[in-house]
Structure 1
Amino acid sequence: MSGQPFGPDVIAAVSRHMNDDHAEDTLLICRTLGGCPTATRARTTGLDADGVDFVATVDGVEVAVRVPFAHRLTERAEIRREVVRMYQEACVQLGIEPRPAG
């Protein structure tokens, strides 16, 4: 699989989950770690072992955003941990209290 540990089914499931259940978290990540502080919307479009891909709406225009993971991922369980880390880091940068992981 040329270094890609996540198949299309995993990528689609993670993207759907992020978009359905964590749209606000995705926006916070794009505003901070993705370098789009004025983004008004964001959605997850994919991921690989090295990062997550988003599309953010900035000034009414959709732009591609890539946020790298802190390290290369090899297992599906690592995706959640890494996205939670990104969310928590985004909250710290914005000076807001992250909600408890649950």
Structure 2
Amino acid sequence: MSTPFTPAAVQAIKSHMNDDHPDDALIIVRGLGGRPEATTAVTSDVDAEGIEFTVDGGERVRVPWGETLTERSQVRMAVVRLYRDACEKLGIPARGQH
């Protein structure tokens, strides 16, 4: 899997997701990752094609962006899109701006 992101950028993205958006990650895994019964999701990797989570302490679940990202600045909108798509699929209301 290719990545346009430096290791430092990947670490920053993972830290931000895990520190500030753990509930959003779980919604993404439940709605788009094929694990509706998941109880935890930790962001474990990110690259140009998608985002990966460690679910319930072990299994890795990868969710594609739906497009190839070429810049770090695209990650935020891609995550928000996944979150909103997952909320829609799960039938739950999405929060406002992230």
- TM bucket normalised to smaller: over 0.9
Which position in structure 1 is the counterpart of 2:88? 92
Structure 1 letter corresponding to 2:50: G
Q: Distance in 1 between matches of 2:26 and 2:92?
A: 14
Q: Where does structure 1 lack aligned partners over 5 or more consecutive residues?
A: none
What is the TM-score when the length of structure 1 is the normalising length? 0.91
Q: Which has the higher strand share?
A: 1
- Number of aligned positions between the proteins: 98
Structure 2 unaligned blocks of 5 or more: none
**Higher RCO, Cα 8 Å, sep 6+:** 2
Q: Distance in 1 between matches of 2:36 and 2:90?
A: 10
Q: CA RMSD in A?
A: 1.4
- Structure index of larger Rg: 1
The sequence identity of aligned pairs, in percent, is 46
Query: Could you tell me how far apart the structure 1 residues matched to 2:93 and 2:36 are?
Result: 18
Q: Secondary structure at the match of 1:52?
A: strand
Could you list the structure 1 runs, at least 4 aligned residues long, displaced by more than 6 angstroms after superposition. none
